[in-house]
Homo-oligomer: A and B are copies of this chain.
Amino acid sequence: MTEVEVKKPQERLQERFTQVVNSLQRLHVIDESQGYSREPGSAQEQVLAELQQTVTELHSADIAFILEGLPLDERLTVWQLVRVESDGDILLEVSDAVRETLLADMDDHEIIAAAKELDVDELAELAPELPHDVVYELIEALDAQQRDRVRSALSYEEDQVGSIMDYEMVTVRDDVALEVVLRYLRRLKELPDHLDKLFVVDHEGYLKGVLPIKRLLVNDPEKKVAEIMADDPVTFHPDEDSADAAQAFERYDLISAPVIEKSGRLVGRLTIDEMVDVIREESEEEVLSRAGLREEEDIFASVWKSIANRWAWLAINLITAFVASRVIGLFEHSIEKLVALAALMPIVAGIGGNSGNQTITMIVRAMALEQLSTGNTNRLLRKELGVAFINGIIWGGVIGVVAWLLYDYFALGMVMIAAMTLNLLLAAMMGVLIPMTMVRLGRDPALGSSVLITAMTDSGGFFIFLGLATMFLL
């Protein structure tokens, strides 16, 4: 990767984005007035040349950013102006949804030309999205070691360390002097990115320690590597969960770390840039899955793609809403007699849902950070029930008084307080028990948590409120 040349990064990028949008606008205007043309000598060609000039000067991550922010047709116009050498890098940077649209626009030759510029680990990252025969051809073109590495990377799950590690390790022996190491590095001409430590291995490739560049720089060049290396570094295994690895990177402020097999043999390297991506993706997934989106959506995706991305949770929600509706159906006679119940029941259900979501969000977060074991259930449950009880009395009291005054019916106000309190207690209990149960069953506690808790507090709230009303008011 070349050195970046940007000054106030965020502002300059926004400027470039605006430039690109303006050029595309002008192109569109000319197309409208003079008819569509991309021929040499046309007015459009000039605009395109300008646009290409702008794009060529950009870092591939910036081009990726701009492509993601453009509607499909404009995106492809820009994509065709990008130089082949950058294609591979850009494909790695864009979101999955946008990558799909870019790949769909390329023929096999273009894809192969782009992918040839990539490192082995990058190729492995892209491979699952490429046509099979393209992958085959690309792998055939590699030497035996690289081919093994691609195959190995592809054998791990997307969320395992093995699939995101790179192979750009610089290794040294522990019996050489630092001076020798410095000479060795100088001979390499170019060093990999994120090189903050060298890996010290024995002649069979087993990791014996790491030599931080910092120590290499400050110590006497005559010292031996063995004297100054760190011999118990943080290491990872290829089958480890990459989210765990990212947490360790964050906790220990790592920049790079060796990946070793169970036997202790060095097989790869993890770097902070990959870990930052993992952290970002993880949090995105959490936000999206709470809202019932299956994956990050290309904001300019077609209507049909969007529907496919969103339908599953809408369907689940339809079922839970239907169940809640049948609960109300049980009490139709009560509502006929006292129609105020119909107006008041959504309040009980709504506040319960809000409160339950607060509880479950907090607990799912703590579980994601692995700070909460199922052993704490009782203590937490007591606390949440306490919060719910007090909130029930306070907010139930407020709304109970309002209901009493509004309908001039004291007993209705009392039922409201009781129902609010009971539904908040239900919300608290479910907010603790749902994620705890999910974890015991080996499931992800975040997935569907919001839908599940809302389903409970809706059906539960209607049942409690209408049930109490039927018992005490009719």
Contact = CB atoms under 8 A, between A and B. Distances in A.
For chain A, which range describes its interface: under 10, 10 to 19, 20 to 34, or 35 or more residues?
35 or more
Nearest to A185: B217
Interface stretch (A38-46, A147-155, A362-370): A362-370
A409 interface: no
A244 B363 contact: no
Given A299-B363, A379-B300, A351 B398 contact: no
A195 interface: yes
Contacts of A69: 366, 371-372
Nearest to A328: B343
A146 to B, nearest CB: 23
A318 to B, nearest CB: 6
A379 B458 contact: no
Given A235-B7, A343-B328, A354-B317, A189 B218 contact: yes
Contacts of A362: 288, 291, 293, 297, 299
Contacts of A433: none
A251 B61 contact: yes
A320 B464 CA distance: 21
Say what secondary structure dominates the interface of chain A.
helix
A4 B234 contact: yes
A308 B370 CA distance: 25
Complex copy number for this chain? 2
A380 B6 contact: no
Contacts of A324: 346-347, 350
A205 interface: no
A280 B241 CA distance: 18
A247 interface: yes
Contacts of A444: none
A399 B313 CA distance: 15
A335 B339 contact: yes
A69 to B, nearest CB: 4
Given A244-B10, A324-B350, A343-B329, A287 B286 contact: yes
A357 B291 contact: yes
Interface in A152-191: 182, 185-186, 188-191
Nearest to A221: B186
Contact of A272 (B59, B230, B272, B310): B272
B307 A391 contact: yes
A472 interface: no
A328 B335 CA distance: 13
Contact of A293 (B234, B276, B307, B361): B361
A358 B293 contact: yes
Contacts of A361: 287-288, 290-291, 293
Interface stretch (A105-113, A117-125, A130-138, A382-390): A382-390
A314 B351 contact: yes
A290 B237 CA distance: 36
Contact of A291 (B10, B71, B253, B358): B358
A32 interface: no
Enumerate the 7 nearest inter-chain pairs by beta-carbon distance, A residue then B residue, closest first.
Answer: A283-B283, A9-B248, A69-B371, A291-B361, A10-B244, A342-B342, A61-B251
Given A8-B235, A300-B383, A318-B395, 17 more contacts: A4-B234, A10-B244, A69-B366, A190-B214, A196-B196, A213-B217, A250-B280, A255-B255, A283-B283, A283-B286, A287-B287, A310-B391, A314-B358, A318-B351, A326-B343, A332-B342, A339-B342
